[in-house]
Amino acid sequence: MALEHTDPTQFTLIVCDSYYCVQSFNEYLHYWRLNGFRDSKGNTIKHRLLWGKVADLKETLPKVHVVHTPGHQRVGIHVAGNTLADEAAKSAVAVATVAAVTRSSSNPDTEIMAAIKATVDGTPYPKGFLNRYQYFMGSMLNAEVRIPSVGIRDIPNKAVRPQLIKAAHEGVASAHAGVSATISLLQARY
């Protein structure tokens, strides 16, 4: 985050291609903090911990100004910097997501065990498991699935799945990559 590397004695201009982030920093952040980081409907805002950290840094950095620039432009004074920032954000998403979303070492749940048994026995699969896939125990005693034309993927234990999704969603720069990129990163691993 650029704010962490900012000298509080210097005027600093941060240019961002996310209008939401610029508007949030310049307008909403003060009110979010007053409301306990809740929106107008009383719901906790997304990425509450990150916005809390930004709010803390903003208080210590009065000489920081954040402005908006259109993204993915070919000409303009901020094009080179914005392109580098986009590349850094995409790289951070990939690295952080792979680090945060690790293979499940927990024992497969009964639902997955039933799918593995069905693969071995040739019996019907449990609801939600596709019969064109092959389910088996992997070398690390984790459940895996062989998907035609895709390859082998881990099947995380049901209890671990929400943690994996949360880790991918809240990973470094995940807000920049968007939902579809987060889903793609998860699908590449699971």
Which string of DSSP letters, residue by residue, matches 111-126? HHHHHHHHHHHTPPPP
Detail the DSSP E strand segments found in the chain.
12-16, 64-68, 134-137, 143-147, 151-154
Tell whether the model's pLDDT for residue 12 goes beyond 50: yes
- Confidence (pLDDT) at 187: 67
Place of tokens 């671990």: 160
- What is the fold of 2-68? Nucleotidyltransferase; domain 5 (3.30.420)
Tell whether the model's pLDDT for residue 140 goes beyond 70: no
Give this prediction's pTM.
0.46
- Confidence (pLDDT) at 116: 83
State the span(s) of the chain assigned CATH 3.30.420.10.
Answer: 2-68
- Confidence (pLDDT) at 104: 46
Angle (nearest 5°) at CA 110 between 105 and 112: 65
- Confidence (pLDDT) at 98: 44
Q: What is the CA radius of gyration of the chain?
A: 22
3-state secondary structure at position 100 = helix
